[in-house]
């Protein structure tokens, strides 16, 4: 145990770099995703740990030393009970709250029930996250090596290059992100020869057909949509200036969509596209062979638990990641 009561988790990264880095966990959408609130968060092992536990464990091992959970105020009590109170013994944690409140000059429609998407979620970190950070979804398992790669990017890159904010995106092979139980939506990334992102094609209803070919709602050409195509799974590494850009671009988005505020939702890939168009950011794609695990459909739960069981068998994780 550490002097402050926190358990010491041995890092996999090289010693000698003490830069603070934060893991930002997008958890505000949790309750709605599972239909019966956060208490339904899927347990991956006999200890009752969730996917979030494993992501945080991998992030700490990679060198991240703070976790910020972005949640809705109405799930705070359950969230702390089920996850937060356990994690606070392992790493410094903080909370940011995503609400329905809009910036001055905009009014929240009465019938609006859910917040405004992942750009507003990251914006909720303003004043809380002041160091390089990594954004992940709460209910996605990203694999181990990708946390090391993105942590290395944050500590070894300058935050700006030619007045462009530096961002890294984890690029997963599409074949490692499909579901056997239905179609999926993925951000198919198009890169230049230097592995910089040129554009993200938000592609819906991607499915592997019986003939071994991929289909999608957009009928994307197979030169773009193939099993080894790199896709974004909403894992972004960047610097605090990004939060200021979220503020600027969220306001622009609200202005453009002021007649559609009942349904409008501004997501990170959309903002990233706009930053690229405006030449405000340079996005490096970090390819990974890690397998993504997510629970898109109820039927995905058992296969996900089976994947974890195999990881325990192969000693990828200890039997109890948080054992004292």
Please check the confidence at residue 206 and state whether its pLDDT lies above 60.
Answer: yes
* Structural domain total, the chain: 1
- pLDDT per position as a tens digit, 44-96: 999 989 999 999 999 999 999 999 999 999 889 988 988 888 898 889 999 99
CA distance 233 to 136: 8
Please check the confidence at residue 40 and state whether its pLDDT lies above 80.
Answer: no
- pLDDT in the model for residue 16: 46
The residue segments making up the domain with residue 190 are: 22-313
- pLDDT per position as a tens digit, 286-307: 999 999 998 877 788 899 999 9
Residue 50 lies in a domain: yes
21 Cβ neighbours under 8 A, 6+ residues apart: 63, 64, 65, 66, 131, 132, 133, 134, 151, 154, 155
- pLDDT in the model for residue 221: 93
- pLDDT per position as a tens digit, 153-177: 999 998 888 899 999 999 999 999 9
* Alpha carbons within 13 A on the beta-carbon side of 170: 30
CA distance 21 to 239: 9
Q: Where are the alpha helices (DSSP H) in the chain?
A: 30-34, 51-62, 76-79, 85-87, 118-123, 145-156, 241-256, 268-277, 301-313
Please check the confidence at residue 6 and state whether its pLDDT lies above 80.
Answer: no
CA distance 287 to 204: 22
pLDDT mean across residues, the chain: 90
CATH number of 174's domain:
3.90.550.10
**pLDDT band, residue 27 (cuts 50/70/90):** very high
CA distance 92 to 4: 10
> Beta-carbon neighbour count of residue 221 at 10 Å?
9
- pLDDT in the model for residue 78: 87
Q: Which of 31-35, 46-50, 114-118, 196-200 has the lowest mean pLDDT?
A: 31-35
- pLDDT in the model for residue 297: 77
């Amino acid at each position: 145990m550490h002097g402050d009561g926190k358990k010491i988790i041995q890092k996999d990264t090289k010693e000698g770099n003490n830069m603070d880095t934060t893991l930002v966990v997008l958890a505000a959408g949790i309750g709605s995703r599972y239909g019966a609130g956060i208490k339904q968060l899927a347990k991956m092992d006999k200890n009752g740990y969730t996917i979030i536990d494993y992501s945080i464990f991998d992030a700490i091992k990679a060198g991240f030393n703070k976790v910020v959970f972005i949640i809705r105020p109405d799930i705070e009590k359950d969230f702390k009970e089920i996850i937060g109170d356990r994690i606070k013994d392992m790493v410094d944690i903080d909370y940011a709250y995503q609400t329905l409140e809009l910036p001055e000059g905009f009014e929240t429609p009465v019938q609006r029930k859910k917040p405004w998407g992942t750009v507003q979620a990251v914006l909720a970190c303003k004043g809380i996250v002041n160091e390089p950070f990594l954004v992940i979804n709460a209910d996605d398992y990203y694999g181990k090596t990708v946390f090391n790669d993105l942590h290395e990017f944050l500590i070894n890159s300058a935050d700006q290059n030619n007045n462009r904010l530096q961002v890294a995106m984890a690029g997963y092979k599409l074949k490692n992100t499909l579901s056997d139980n239905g179609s999926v939506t993925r951000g198919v990334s198009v890169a230049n020869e230097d592995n910089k992102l040129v554009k993200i094609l938000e592609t819906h209803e991607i499915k592997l057909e019986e003939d071994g070919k991929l289909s999608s709602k957009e009928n994307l050409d197979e030169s773009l949509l193939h099993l080894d195509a790199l896709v974004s799974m909403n894992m972004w590494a960047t610097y605090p200036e990004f939060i200021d850009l979220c503020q600027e671009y969220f306001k622009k988005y609200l202005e453009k969509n002021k007649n559609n505020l009942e349904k409008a939702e501004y997501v990170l890939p959309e903002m990233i596209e706009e930053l690229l168009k405006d030449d405000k950011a340079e996005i490096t794609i970090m390819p990974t062979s890690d397998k993504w695990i997510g629970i898109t459909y109820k039927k995905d739960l058992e296969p996900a638990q089976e994947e974890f069981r195999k990881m325990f068998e192969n000693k990828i994780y200890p039997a109890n990641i948080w054992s004292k």
